[in-house]
Structure 1
Amino acid sequence: MLVVGLTGGIASGKSTVSKLFQESQVPVIDLDVLARIAVEPDSYALSALVRHFGESILRPDGTLNREKLGSIVFNNERERKVLNSIVHPAVRRLLAWELVKAWMRGEKVCVVDAPLLIEAGLWKMCGAIVVVYCSEILQLQRLRSRNNLSLQDAQSRLSAQAPLSSKLKYADYVIDNSGPMADLSSQVDRVVTRLHARAGWSWVLSWLVPPVGIVRAFLRIGWRLYVQGVGKEKRRRTRGEKRGPDEIELHERRRSS
C-alpha cells in the first residue's frame, strides 16, 4: 500500500483537495479527526494536558476547550512544544492503527491528510507527498474572507505556520490551487492516476505477504531519505506542466525507481 501524505497551509485549499481524493475513491485518513479522538475525555493525552495546563482548558462537560488551549499556546513557542509532545505521539498511534486497517482492507493507495505533516515529522513514513500550494497573498485574502478577520489577525495566524514555500522541497507532487475549481479538480485527477501508477502491481504481493510489504516500506523510506534526499535544500530536476517561474503546477520529483 502506498501511503501518501497530503499537506498545505491555512486557507490553501487542502481540505478541498482531500474531498476530491475521496470522490476519486482514494481513502483519506484525516489527522484533525484523529487529533480530536486522541484528546477525548478519559484519554491519557487529555489527562496529561490537564496536568500541565490546568483544568481551565476543560469545558464543564469534561471535554477539551480548544479555544482556551489555543489562546495559551498561540504565541508561546515553549507551550506549543509541550502541547505537541503530548498530542503527537497519541495521534501517531491512532494513525498507525488506521493504516493497518486500510492495509487489511487491501487498499492500493491511502492518503494521510495532515496540516502539520512536515512539522510533526510524519512525512518520513510516507511513500509520496502532495503539497497544496498557493501564494501567501492569496492565502491571506482567502483567510480574511473565510473567517472575517482583520488584516492584522490574518497575518498573525499566517505567520504562526511554516510558510508554504518551505514545504515544497518535500513534495513529490505540487497542486497549484491558484485557479478555478475545474483546474484544481483536473490536477487532482492527474495526481490520482500517477499515484496508482506509482503503487504499481507489486502492492498485491505486499498485501498477500506482509513481510514483503514491511521490507518494501523500509526500502522505500530509506530510498527517499538517503538517496533522493527528500527535504534537503538542493535543486532537483522535475517534470510536469510549467506555466512560468512564479507558478507551480503538478511537479513530480524525478525518480529512478
Structure 2
Amino acid sequence: MFLVGLTGGIATGKSTVSNMIQSLGVPVVDADLIARQIVEPGKKAWKKIREAFGDDVFLESGELDREKLGKLIFSDMEKRRMINKITHPEIYREIRWQVFQYLLQGEQFVVLDLPLLYESNKVTSYLYKTIVVSCEDEIQLDRLLARNQYSEKEAIARIEAQLPLETKCKKADIIIENSGSIDNTRNQVEGIIKLLRSSKQHIYNRVVYGGGLIVFIALLCWIVYYVV
C-alpha cells in the first residue's frame, strides 16, 4: 500500500475533490472529520481545550463552539499553537490507526485529506505523491465569503493564516485546478486516480518493507535461539 496526500487552501474545493475521490472507490482518511470527532464532549482533547481556554469557547450543550474558537485562534498565533498542540497528537494517532486498518484490508493506496499537510509537515516523508487543489485568488475569496459569514477582512485573514497556495503548488506532485466547472474538476480527478491505480508502488512497498520485516524477525529469532 502507498499513501497520497491531498491538500489545498481554504475554500479552494478540497472537500469537493475528496468526495469525488471517495465516489471512485478510493479510501480517504479525512483529518477535518477526525478533528471534529476528537473534540466531542468527554473526549481527551475536549477536556484539554476546556482546561486551556475555559467555558467561553463551549456551547451550553457542552459542545465546542468551533466558530468562536476559530475567531480566537486566528487572531492569536500563540493560542493557535496551543490548540494545535492539544489536537494534533490525537488527530495523527487516529490517522495512523485508520491507515493501519486499510493496510490490513489490502488496499492499493489511501488518500490522506490533510488541510495543513505542508504547514505541519508531519507526514510528507511517508507520501508517495501529494495533490494540491488550487484556484484563482479572487475565486477563493469569493467562495469563502459565500460559504461563511465572514467580513472580507476576516476572510483574507483566514486565507493568509495558511501557507500561500503558490507555495503549496510548488511543493505538489500533482495540481488540480479548480477554478472552472465541476465537470472539469471531475475529469482531472478521474485522470489522477487512473494514473495512481496504474502505479506498482504498492508492490514495491510490500516487497521492500515486508521483506525487511521478515529479515528483522528472522534475525530476532536467531539472536534468541543462538545468543540468549
Fold match (TM-score > 0.5): yes
Q: d(CA) in 2 for partners of 1:123 and 1:20? A: 22
Residue 71 of structure 1 corresponds to 71
Residue 178 of structure 1 corresponds to 179
Partner of 2:26, secondary structure, is coil
Count residues with an aligned counterpart: 213
C-alpha spacing 1:42/1:147, structure 2 compared with 1 (3 Å) = closer
Residue 219 of structure 1 corresponds to none
CA contact (8 A) 2:2 2:202 kept: no
Which structure has the greater CA radius of gyration? Answer: 2
Deviation at residue 86 of structure 1 after TM alignment: 0.9
1:99-110 equivalences under 5 Å are 99-110=99-110
Partner of 2:64, secondary structure, is coil
**AA partner of residue 88 (structure 1):** H
Give TM-score scaled by structure 2 length.
0.85
1:216-227 equivalences under 5 Å are none
Residue 39 of structure 1 corresponds to 39
Structure 1: stretches of 5+ with no match in the other structure: 216-257
Q: d(CA) in 1 for partners of 2:125 and 2:20? A: 24
C-alpha spacing 1:148/1:71, structure 2 compared with 1 (3 Å) = closer
Give the number of the structure whose residues are more often helix, by fraction: 2
1:1-257 equivalences under 5 Å are 1-121=1-121, 122-147=123-148, 149-200=150-201, 202=203, 206=206, 211-212=210-211
Q: d(CA) in 2 for partners of 1:124 and 1:87? A: 21
Partner of 1:4, secondary structure, is strand
Q: d(CA) in 2 for partners of 1:33 and 1:124? A: 23
More displaced, 36-45 or 194-203?
Answer: 194-203
Identity %: 38
Partner of 1:115, secondary structure, is coil
C-alpha spacing 1:214/1:29, structure 2 compared with 1 (3 Å) = farther
Q: Deviations over 1:105-132 (max 9, x none)?
A: 1110111111111112232332211001
CA contact (8 A) 1:35 1:87 kept: yes
- The alignment's C-alpha RMSD in Å is 2.3
Q: d(CA) in 2 for partners of 1:201 and 1:95? A: 19
Deviation at residue 3 of structure 1 after TM alignment: 0.7
**AA partner of residue 202 (structure 1):** I
More displaced, 87-96 or 165-174?
Answer: 165-174
CA contact (8 A) 1:34 1:91 kept: yes
Partner of 1:185, secondary structure, is helix
Q: d(CA) in 2 for partners of 1:182 and 1:157? A: 28
Give TM-score scaled by structure 1 length.
0.76
Q: Deviations over 1:51-71 (max 9, x none)?
A: 211122222332222122222
CA contact (8 A) 2:108 2:202 kept: no
CA contact (8 A) 1:8 1:14 kept: yes
C-alpha spacing 1:45/1:146, structure 2 compared with 1 (3 Å) = closer
Structure 2: stretches of 5+ with no match in the other structure: 215-228
Q: d(CA) in 2 for partners of 1:116 and 1:169? A: 15
CA contact (8 A) 1:28 1:111 kept: yes
